Chain A
Amino acid sequence: EAGVAQSPRYKIIEKRQSVAFWCNPISGHATLYWYQQILGQGPKLLIQFQNNGVVDDSQLPKDRFSAERLKGVDSTLKIQPAKLEDSAVYLCATAASPGPETQYFGPGTRLLVL
């Protein structure tokens, strides 16, 4: 069974530029999460999807971050414009269903904003 795929693995941009991350979940996984992991901290949930609908985006900085999962499969997370404090690893995780289910994490995208 293929795992959660993320791309790119690394990205370096200058502040005020835009960037997009892509996530392909495990086949059949309806629930998808995006997390931000700043160096030295635990993952922080940004947004949760159930199929193509948003379940929770209370911690997503909506003035600059956006995410979509149009067909309920792949998802993209975008930052526009990026700030220095957005430097972090962005993790995508998926689960077969919502609730206290096991989340399967991708390898993450490491973003450096200069």
Chain B
Amino acid sequence: AQSVTQLGSHVSVSEGALVLLRCNYSSSVPPYLFWYVQYPNQGLQLLLKYTSAATLVKGINGFEAEFKKSETSFHLTKPSAHMSDAAEYFCAVTRTGNQFYFGTGTSLTVIP
């Protein structure tokens, strides 16, 4: 069975501070992992994805995530938060590409 767990449904950071959003996965085989962002009243947009190449994945808008098999984690980070980063972030996993499982999401608030 596959699933992802996002620790912390709400995260608040100050503008300019480090952003860290946590995602742990459960999969019997090495999975493919994704981070999506959702702005209010919009669909989801891909930030980055891990597909078994480099373990450190760089995405759009300065975000990156590191695949750590030993910790079954794929945490999302950004060195310096910007006001425009305020949104809902979803981690997703698939083993075959035919069944995607999304986490419950983390709402990021950026404090000016």
Q: List the interface of chain A (C-beta within 8 A of B).
A: 4, 33, 35, 40-45, 48, 55-56, 58, 91, 93, 98-108
B44 & A93 in contact (Cβ 8 Å cutoff): yes
| Residues of chain A contacted by B25 (CB below 8 angstroms) | none
A43 & B44 in contact (Cβ 8 Å cutoff): yes
B42 & A43 in contact (Cβ 8 Å cutoff): no
In whole angstroms, what is the CA distance A35 to B105 when docked? 15
Residues 78-112 of chain B, each 1 if its beta carbon lies under 8 Å from chain A, else 0: 00000000000010101011111111110000000
Q: Closest chain A residue to B92 by CB distance?
A: A42
A102 & B46 in contact (Cβ 8 Å cutoff): yes
Residue B51, interface by CB 8 Å: yes
Q: How large is the interface on B (under 10, 10 to 19, 20 to 34, 35 or more residues)?
A: 20 to 34
Residue B12, interface by CB 8 Å: no
Of the candidates B49, B94, B99, B104, the one whose C-beta lies within 8 Å of that of A102 is B49
User: How many residue pairs, one in A and one in B, have C-beta atoms under 8 Å apart?
Assistant: 58
Of the candidates B41, B92, B94, B104, the one whose C-beta lies within 8 Å of that of A40 is B104
Q: Closest chain B residue to A98 by CB distance?
A: B97
A41 & B43 in contact (Cβ 8 Å cutoff): no
| Residues of chain B contacted by A58 (CB below 8 angstroms) | 99
In whole angstroms, what is the CA distance A108 to B41 when docked? 8
| Residues of chain A contacted by B42 (CB below 8 angstroms) | 107
Q: Closest chain B residue to A101 by CB distance?
A: B97
Most buried by B among A35, A42, A101: A42
**With A42-B102, A42-B104, A42-B105 known to touch, is A105 a contact of B45 (CB < 8 Å)?**
yes
- Known interface pairs A40-B9, A45-B100; 7 further A-B residue pairs with C-beta atoms within 8 A, sorted by A's residue number: A40-B105, A42-B92, A42-B104, A42-B105, A58-B99, A100-B32, A105-B36
